[in-house]
Amino acid sequence: MNKQELVDAIALAVGTTKSAAGETLDAFVAVVTQAVAEGDSVQLVGFGTFSAGHRAARTGRNPRTGESLQIAAAKTVKFTASKAFKDLVNS
């Protein structure tokens, strides 16, 4: 499902216009993105949690030359599905 299909499904489920559903989805994405970028987590009960993680610096290897190189530490984005969501997917 792409973004437009999601907007269409939300508009149909809620009984609103596609443009209103699109604006709502855009606002949701912006709020979650901003919160996670600031280090907060966003928990949606029954769905999951969006949070920021940290990946430590490590030594990697260039597959073409075999040369070792340092990979810098980085922040990552994590999504952890809730138990109810996992159970629904696995049933």
3-state secondary structure of 36: helix
Tokens of 66: 């075999």
Q: What pLDDT digit, counting tens, does each position of 6-56 carry?
A: 999 999 999 999 999 999 999 999 999 999 999 999 999 999 999 999 999
Question: What pLDDT is attached to residue 89?
Answer: 95
Would you say 41 and 31 are in contact if contact means Cβ atoms under 8 Å apart?
no
CATH number for domain 3-90, candidates 2.60.15.10, 4.10.520.10, 3.30.70.920, 3.30.429.10: 4.10.520.10
Placement of tokens 């901003």 in the chain: 34
CA 68 vs. chain centroid, Å, equals 31
Q: What are the tens digits of pLDDT across the range 66-80?
A: 999 999 999 999 999
> Which residue from 3, 78, 82 is spatially nearest to 44, judged by alpha carbons?
82
pTM for this model (two decimals): 0.78
